[in-house]
Structure 1
């Protein structure tokens, strides 16, 4: 079917385009999920349950860092005092399916971005349409950086915190598999999407919904939120909180800069047309 011009498309035409975007994206996720199914043993044993091992790379890094900073063994992880159990008859089957779907979404993300770009590109200027490859590359890079940040920083710190937190010595930590894997999926996907903030701010600024001054005005609130999140998911030491906070604050500052650049370019175009 021949694609209609944006000005000729009705509301129902836009809905039809959106429907096919969702259909093609879903198919891509299913394909990637099917591929990851054949690597499910590695995904669970090495990736998902990796942070439950005291020798996980993140724990070793923080332990070495504590020695270099003269903190001795203060942030070294030597034991994970908890077990992971399954209490539902179909729990492990359901967990396998949804884990593969989540992995499929992560791997198919660049293609999903390409579909999103095709959907929004008719509303962009011709010069902006030429930046499709750059958009896909930068957006995918930010997303994967966020996923890695979530997995190697947020997840192990969260696992360590909840594994060692106790309100009483009488209580033993026996985490349900759905709760454990759900925490990993939420942390990884949330970080991946949060790292997309500069891209989101770019388009919101183009639409006139956000300005750099607005972001600067609420910067202090963003800093407080980031510090609270860092304090929750990290051990009670300054080094860990700083390591978690800095990338998130840099992403926010990058969003402010991008918004300012977009507004500056827009003002230049307006001056040239006037």
Structure 2
């Protein structure tokens, strides 16, 4: 598969790189970023896939989260795809709203016209992108998934539906129950149509209640988040997880909002959490 490097920057003795490639899933050119820690120059390393939120691109997390120092220390690569297909042929919200269309792919496979031709972000993140990364970069098959807001929704639902592909799941401020919040209802009714049974396949609360989870999950949520009650509904996820008695930890963080100030405050915790499951512990004899 052909990829085109946009740029490369050295950081904490590792490399941050951006690439474009023609995607067979989304039928358009996609952009992704990768951070390769210094350990990758000597041996393959595990990967954390990061999914960003509404309006974001591959650049937001890489520039604002402050994750490179800890990722370099732990020896974990980070891959950040774009949040939706892009290009002149890709349809957008008719009113250019921030919560649907470009920048708002919701990490699902659309079934409704005109969205279904390009909005196949689930297949892109689950299958196409990891296959590309594993064929082009010095990484192992071990991977974890994380994300923020819409991307937290993506990380939870993708991880829950593909428990054989990931070692661990985490999220910041995720949309936990999109079938019951305005962002999710708008996106799902357009991308998936009016059959709400189909919506449940992309709802973390519904998936967790139906299938449970064998993977460890860490979620951080700020209690001063302006979207907390209407859009994110972490209490719904807490209730389901308690019923399932899972390896699940949702931490309400006092005074924090929805921003990357919040993410940067706890991203080291998430990287350390994933490292415990991605990197084997060597016991000295």
Q: What's the TM-score, normalizing by structure 2?
A: 0.28
Task: From the two aligned structures, give the one with the greater strand fraction.
Answer: 2
Bigger relative contact order, structure 1 or 2, given CA contacts below 8 A and separation 6+? Answer: 1
1 or 2, which has the higher helix percentage? 1
TM-score (norm 1): 0.29
Flag the structure with larger Rg: 1
